[in-house]
Amino acid sequence: MDDDYRRLADRIADDIASGRLRPGERLPPQRAFARRRGIAGSTAGRVYGELVRRGLVVGEVGRGTFVRAAPPAPNGRALAEPVAATALAPRVNMELNYPSAPGQSELLAPALAPLLRPDVLTEALRPAPADGTPEARKAVAGLLVTPGWRPAPDGVLFAGNARQAIAATLASLVRPGGRVGVEALTYPLVKEIAARLGIVLVPLAMDQDGVRPDALVAAHRSAPLSALYVQPTLHNPTSVTMGEGRRRELARVVRELGVPVVEDRIWSFLTDKEAGDPLAAHVPELAHVVDGLSKRVAPGLTVGFLVVPPDRAEAVAAAVRSGGWSAGRFALEAGVRWIEDGTVARLVAAKRLDAARRQRLLARELAEFEGAVRSDPYAYYAWWELPASWRADTFTAAVAAHGIAVTPGDAFAVGPQRAPDAVRLGLASAPEPELARALRTLAAVARRGRTGR
């Protein structure tokens, strides 16, 4: 009968209201639930969907379904009315990580005003080619300079954002079924990009200095790699910055193996210029550098940058065009103006100070977990290896019951091995008072601990 799934949902709701099912506890997989109850798999799916609709559980693809905190209704049964989407949204979303400097909009506005003149706007609304404009290439090449690396403007290409720049570069380098080496913990959207392009990601072991060159050699000898994707500066999620010695060693191995590199430097603007030159400084013939304005400026009006070897420019540009990943001309023109008038430099300085304040806040509120929280004074995130009594998935669900969203380790893990029981804490998006309260809540939940791992 059509109401059967609602009655089953009511029973689970009773267990939640009575405390027999506690916040953070994991419900059985839907197939197992269907077998135990003697019902069809589709009915089990409707039961779980009803519980999500009522706001009693949270479901995460690949992780399972977990109990949220939910006050019982006066009659002891769960409320039947649907919960508004705003009620289900986390109050403090530490999965998101979009830094915003005080007075940012006021800084950005002046450069946009000239673009709104009808004669200028007409040109700014035309499509932008993959190689942008001479002015854009020159501005970005200057923005990306480090002490040991000065990119040539002719090697600069543009995409809509850094994610699209990564996708275009990988698409130009790797055929479907090809293998790409990545850090064992990597940027989650690279996993999505690889799945859409039909690329196999190969996890490479890391240590305290980043990806290990010997792991790259072993993986390539096992079966040739078509490319390597790495984040040597402020690695997401661990915030590790690779030392100069490791960069040189990795570049040497890359050259010996002939493996092209996609180097993601999207967070590198937060570090000192002396933190490390890109791999392109050591192996320019193989390195493809990806960067952009989304973190430096804002995610809503952004541009992705690519610096590629001269003989790779047309192939990458073709991938940008065929993927529909071209930069918007308006955003490109705005970005050039922000770079040239010093707005980007001012925002970078402000965000470095902001990140440092938030790191001090993190250190204060999670002081009792010192050693388990891995971070960097320049980073907008931290990697927290949870107390032994916690699993990452149950901790994620438990803090979700308090209105806080964090990212569990398996979102970053590559390959079949068990993900670490750790979470990434994004520090950039929440206002500082909210962030402080959220960190105190996380500490209290971790302190309480759980049994029955």
The Cα 3–Cα 10 span in angstroms is 11
Q: What is this structure's pTM?
A: 0.81
CA angle 21, 27, 32 (to 5 degrees): 135
Q: Strand, helix or coil at 327?
A: coil
- What is the tens place of the pLDDT at every residue in 184-240? 999 999 999 999 999 999 999 999 999 999 999 999 999 999 999 999 999 999 999
- Kindly state the DSSP code that residue 26 receives in the 8-state scheme: B
The Cα 237–Cα 187 span in angstroms is 7
**384 has a pLDDT exceeding 70:** yes
The Cα 226–Cα 170 span in angstroms is 9
Across all residues in the chain, what is the average pLDDT? Answer: 89
Q: Strand, helix or coil at 367?
A: helix
**62 or 38: which carries more pLDDT confidence?**
38
Sequence-separated (6 or more) residues with CB below 8 Å from residue 301: 330, 331, 334
The Cα 418–Cα 356 span in angstroms is 32
- Kindly state the DSSP code that residue 84 receives in the 8-state scheme: P
φ/ψ (deg, to 5) at 62: 85, -10
pLDDT for position 224 = 98
pLDDT for position 90 = 67
Do 380 and 267 meet the contact criterion of CB atoms below 8 Å apart? yes
Mean per-residue pLDDT, 162-190: 96
**272 has a pLDDT exceeding 80:** no
- What is the tens place of the pLDDT at every residue in 108-127? 999 988 888 888 888 888 88
Do 114 and 108 meet the contact criterion of CB atoms below 8 Å apart? no
**Amino acid identity, residue 278?**
P
pLDDT > 70 fraction of the chain, expressed in percent and rounded: 91
The Cα 252–Cα 383 span in angstroms is 29
Q: In the beta sheet, which residues pair with residue 263? A: 230, 289
